[in-house]
Amino acid sequence: MAIFSKCTTLCFLLLAVNAIVFSQNTFVPDDNFEQALIDLGLDTLPLNDVVPTANISGVTSLTLDNRNIQNLTGIQDFSALTQLFIQDNQLQTIDVSNNINLQILWCFNNNLSSVDVSQNLNLISLRCDSNNITALTISNNTALNVLTCANNQLSTLNTTANPTLSTLICSNNTISNLNVLNNTALTQLICDGNGISNLNLTNNPNINVLNCVNNNLTQLDTSLQPQLIELNCSNNQLCYLNVNNGNNANITTMNFSGNSNLNCVVVDAINDDKSFWQPANFNNYVTSINACNANVPVDILENFIGTSYTLPPITQGDYFTASQGNGTRLSPGALITTTQTIYIYNETACFSNESSFNVVISETPYFIPKYFTPNNDGTNDVWKIVDTNNLINTISIYNRHGKLLKFLSSTQQSWDGTFNGRFLPTDSYWYEIILNDRSVLRGYFALKR
């Protein structure tokens, strides 16, 4: 019994020693990984699939790029690791869940289908471009500063939990919706080659580089990016571009070519040097959004007075009975038999423009307005007589005290409500019209402000 007891004790001691010896090594089954550690002085030949744990547990930065590594088993024992550069290898999986001190992870140009960084709360830089990643969750990485995930298979990307993100490169994925409103520190946004249809930059005042080429954007407003120096938004579906941000003079790259619907670009100043802007032949620059509407062509017709009126053919716009394309749509050739205002409305994908004319159905061959509203709203701003048959010779306008305010010839039959450059007040005003046959018409009208 004593011999058996001694043997048992000895066996347990041997097992304990083996366990201790075994626990002092880290299993590294990939020969290329182990060889890289040997080259770095963290292991010695021969290749035996183990590395002394003590040699690697204190390593803070590890560079293993372009080593044909396929298996990163063993990385879990690099417990102090803050920087891992494992790009340009053959990895299909990567597990850095035990590397909780990791701040920089570069694993681009591998064969990864996913990257789990949920345990790496200190991560500030993640580069996982050119893999096969279909989903990327970075909601736990609130300190993330740089994210590059281009050339993957991402259909969504959520960066709302990353307020310190300054560089985002997500080119050549299939992302249709990119929300960067929470990324207030963003300075570089490269999102070309996706399917993005809307890009709201309201909360991104620090952006200086923006590349959104080859997306589905119809509008782009960079007026709140005063540091913007590079913008490439070519090959989208833009009909509206606003770059009026106060920094046009410092721009080094500006390209909005390949947007066939774009007929208006809002800029700081029309006459600034744009010789290097693309496309070079673009010239519809304005300084306000409202001016974009004026660039939409629309036909203009004169007022008419008569017993009936037939709408003539037009090329720029359509007829409507109310402003902004409202009311009833009318067709060329329609017979108008009632007095009304008819609108010609034309619109593009982003902007619209309209003109209007009055049709007065009357037996009298001229029309004298009863009032006008000179408030510069584009409607009824002048008092103008419709003289279809050119029967009027002169017009004199007086105030209620008989003072002559305006004398109009037969070719100048409108008044804007001013006298010597001064706006006249709301009141009644009198007219005296001399016809070509020397007969006289007198009456009054109202000016309303």
Cα 73 from Cα 234, distance rounded (Å): 44
Most distant CA atoms of the chain, gap in Å = 149
Which pTM was predicted? Answer: 0.75
pLDDT of residue 26: 98
Neighbours of 171 (CB within 10 A): 20
Cα 38 from Cα 32, distance rounded (Å): 10
Residue 66 pLDDT > 70: yes
Cα 408 from Cα 114, distance rounded (Å): 80
Residue 7 pLDDT > 90: no
Q: How confident is the model at residue 17 (pLDDT cuts 50, 70, 90)?
A: very low
179-207 tens-digit pLDDT: 999 999 999 999 999 999 999 999 999 99
Cα 134 from Cα 204, distance rounded (Å): 27
The angle at the Cα of 50, spanning 45 to 54, to the nearest 5 degrees, equals 95
Which residue from 126, 83, 134 is spatially nearest to 108, judged by alpha carbons? 126
Cα 101 from Cα 83, distance rounded (Å): 9
Which residue from 327, 328, 342, 335 is spatially nearest to 311, judged by alpha carbons? 335
Cα 259 from Cα 295, distance rounded (Å): 16
215-271 tens-digit pLDDT: 999 999 999 999 999 999 999 999 999 999 999 999 999 999 999 989 889 999 999
Which residue from 294, 291, 270, 298 is spatially nearest to 282, judged by alpha carbons? 270
CA 405, distance to chain mean position in Å, is 52
Distances (CA, A) of 348 to 132, 205, 215, 237: 40, 29, 20, 12
**With pLDDT > 70 as the criterion, what percentage of the chain qualifies?**
95
Distances (CA, A) of 377 to 340, 380, 381, 385, 414: 19, 8, 7, 19, 17
Q: Helix count (H) and strand count (E) of the chain?
A: 4, 34
Q: Are 211 and 235 in contact (CB under 8 A)?
A: no
Cα 296 from Cα 316, distance rounded (Å): 9
pLDDT of residue 9: 44
Question: 27: which strand partners?
Answer: 50
Distances (CA, A) of 97 to 43, 124, 165, 438: 23, 15, 22, 100
Q: Is 12 exposed, middle or buried (0-12, 13-18, 19+ CB in 10 A)?
A: exposed
Omega of the bond leading into 46 within 30 degrees of 0 (cis): yes
Which residue from 89, 169, 164 is spatially nearest to 129, judged by alpha carbons? 169
Query: Which CATH architecture group holds 369-447?
Result: Sandwich (2.60)
The HSE-up count of residue 343 (CA atoms within 13 Å, CB side) is 18
Q: Are 183 and 199 in contact (CB under 8 A)?
A: no
- Residue boundaries of the structural domains of the chain: 304-361, 369-447
Average pLDDT of the chain to the nearest whole number = 93
Cα 264 from Cα 287, distance rounded (Å): 10
Here the tokens at position 246 are 């106060």
Neighbours of 381 (CB within 10 A): 15
Question: 444: which strand partners?
Answer: 430
266-299 tens-digit pLDDT: 999 999 999 999 999 999 999 998 888 888 899 9
